Structure 1
């Protein structure tokens, strides 16, 4: 078993409360905008998700494809210019080799998505839109996250 080398990290410069508040506001507004986009694009619609799983509509595949392209571009930009607002370096670790963890993770994610009719992102959007049964989905998503934390050492990574 190989050990991870100890890497010295430079001391962080203190962030002023005003800069921290503006950063939090920026994230809040970005999240609100993203939530509105999810609702308006019908990405949070159970009916659209069912259409996708039945191969009846291209709508969700187009949304997912555009998300993949956005993720690829964002990751490339992070690797090239990777630093935070405070100047800390952001390093994108390459994915581990092997397929078992990705297949198991994808099956778990897909099973939850199919049963709940929603992936984790829109849960909060739907609760904000007044779809109160999503509180049950949120509860089980949090329970699943907690259980993963307990079992993490025993799972294939």
Structure 2
């Protein structure tokens, strides 16, 4: 348990960052889907840029995982059909719920209890995916 405290603390830090940056705000998400504000696009674009840089350094072997081992990133074949289907389902869920997976737990931590319905829906969606994943394009 003691060695996992750093992961718990980084989770708390991540939640604070999500909260303070307002990316868990239903109104900010609403603005994004109505193309009324750049806020969310800026946050998402920054995350994509940072991720691309980190993946580059992981592939070059400059960065290691938390155990000090080199991270292997497999070059998968491009499956646009699966990515399109997954993106549509994810985006629809995000638009309907007003939150993507990480912020729902931050919202729960803030005491917003209706988000329990969203968590239940996410768990049910994961369960259904487990039942039908062999029939989906991967």
TM-score using structure 1 length: 0.81
Is residue 41 from structure 1 mapped to residue 13 from structure 2 by the alignment? no
Q: What is the CA deviation profile of residues 63-89 of structure 1, one whole-angstrom value per residue up to 9, with x for unaligned ones?
A: 001110111122122222354333444
1:57 aligns with one of 33, 37, 58:
37
Task: Name the structure, 1 or 2, with higher relative contact order (CA <8 Å, separation 6+).
Answer: 2
2:47 aligns with one of 58, 67, 71:
67
Q: d(CA) in 1 for partners of 2:90 and 2:135?
A: 19
Contact 2:19 2:106 in 1 (8 A): yes
Q: d(CA) in 1 for partners of 2:56 and 2:2?
A: 28
The gaps in structure 2 that reach 5 residues or longer are none
Q: What number of residue pairs does the alignment pair up?
A: 137
1:113 aligns with one of 81, 94, 97:
94
1:144 aligns with one of 113, 125, 136:
125
Q: Structure 1 or 2: larger helix share?
A: 2
Backbone CA RMSD of aligned residues: 1.5
Is residue 99 from structure 1 mapped to residue 80 from structure 2 by the alignment? yes
Q: d(CA) in 2 for partners of 1:86 and 1:46?
A: 37
TM-score using structure 2 length: 0.92
Q: d(CA) in 2 for partners of 1:149 and 1:92?
A: 24
Structure 1 residue 34: Cα displacement: 0.8
Structure 1 residue 142: Cα displacement: 0.9
